[in-house]
Amino acid sequence: MARLKRKMFSLYRWREKAREVGRVIKLPKDVRTEYFKDNFGIINTDPGCQAAVESSIAWLCEAQDNNLFGDGGVADTYSLITGWGPSYPETTGYIIPTLIEYGCLKGDEKFLGRAKRMLDWLCAIQFPDGSFQGGVIGTQPLQPTVFNTGQIVMGFAAGATKFGEAYRLNLVRAADWLVKVQDADGAWRKFESPFVEHGDKTYHAHVAWGLMEAEKIEPGRNYGASALKHIQWALSHQKPNGWFANCDLNMPSQPLTHTLGYVLRGVVEAQLFSPNLEFLKASRLTADAFLDVMEKDGYIAGRFFDNWRPAEDWVCLTGTVQIAICWLLLYRITGDQKYRDAAFVANRYVRMRMSVNGPEHKRGGIKGSYPVNGYYGTFAYLNWAAKFFVDANLLELQVRSNESA
């Protein structure tokens, strides 16, 4: 009976695949090319960290120049079906620190100029209460959103550090708002994005990281305390195996690697901000769980059930590089080489699934899913994927350089 069931399931999968192919061949050539390339397992040679970073930085610049409304933000995606999208305030916020870091590293003012243009645009669209909208420009409803505001705080913190007083007031207004709307137990339940399922969100740990950065710029305004209160709340939702409940946009029973990456980064940053054995233990618990589920080539499933069984067979490339960043940060904290080695493998996996050649809208872009028809950022390149990809590879270059020295 079990054998018959397996055979029937296999036939079902083949039938679904045939239907999918039938739909894909009616789509534009770019879609067909990437679909068949990915699904036949055709991958590129590893271009190395440096070439990959340069290529993805160039893609982010293209995304800024080609956003749908011609403003100073970064287009959320390049869709293989519809082209460039509108600017995304949330992700533009945390792309700013990446461009500033890269501009300083290269000694190139043009990247710093791009970061300033993003900052000035965000200043222009900030709500009177200090908050920022959810979603991309042009979406409705237009309402304040905690998560997006937290990510933009990171941009203002980096801007205030590099460029001085110009962005300090905007930083304070946004961070004050986050502290004001936080619940007594440390969670943020009010002003949730209108584009996600309602309920508690442990991935708001990434908002807490934004407040940690604000505390460094404007100490004594309760930003750090509010951030750590939220991290403590998030840890109350961590299972003994490292999995986090309430950690997805719309499917909390099987969270994305991307949103698990958000909460893990928040806990790791809490450890860096305020060293604490509890934070270190919790971050290693989740980081070690990801070590166990990653395959030898760097494959990590896009979603996981609470026992760490994969819920999907496609890869969330964004989440993969986010986890790689956390592993490298933990390597710096602990000196445990298993984190360094795993991060190098994960980064290489993603590098071999991007291209440093081809048309500008694809060169250096990072797909939402691998294969491209997976159910996260389907048939699209995502600006936040490129941002975290650059961060992960810059960090790998730093680690390799330090070890060589």
pLDDT above 90 coverage of the chain, percent: 92
pLDDT of res. 11: 54
Question: What is the Cα–Cα distance from 140 to 124, expressed in whole angstroms?
Answer: 19
pLDDT of res. 10: 55
**Sequence-ordered list of residues with C-beta below 8 angstroms from that of 296, at least 6 positions apart, any chain:** 345
CA distances from residue 136 to 126, 218, 253, 327, 344 in whole angstroms, order as listed: 14, 29, 26, 30, 33
Domains and CATH numbers, the chain: 49-404 (1.50.10.10)
Reported as a single tens digit per residue, the pLDDT across 319-374 is 999 999 999 999 999 999 999 999 999 999 999 999 999 999 999 999 999 999 99
134-167: string of b/e by CB count within 10 Å (b at 16+)? bbbbeeeeeebbbbbbbbbbbbbbbbbbbeeeeb
pLDDT of res. 13: 63
pLDDT of res. 15: 73
Check whether 317 has a pLDDT greater than 70. Answer: yes
* Opening angle at CA 373, ends 200 and 27, nearest 5: 130
Check whether 248 has a pLDDT greater than 80. Answer: yes
Mean pLDDT of 252-271: 98
Mean pLDDT of 377-392: 98
* Opening angle at CA 185, ends 238 and 126, nearest 5: 100
pLDDT above 70 coverage of the chain, percent: 97
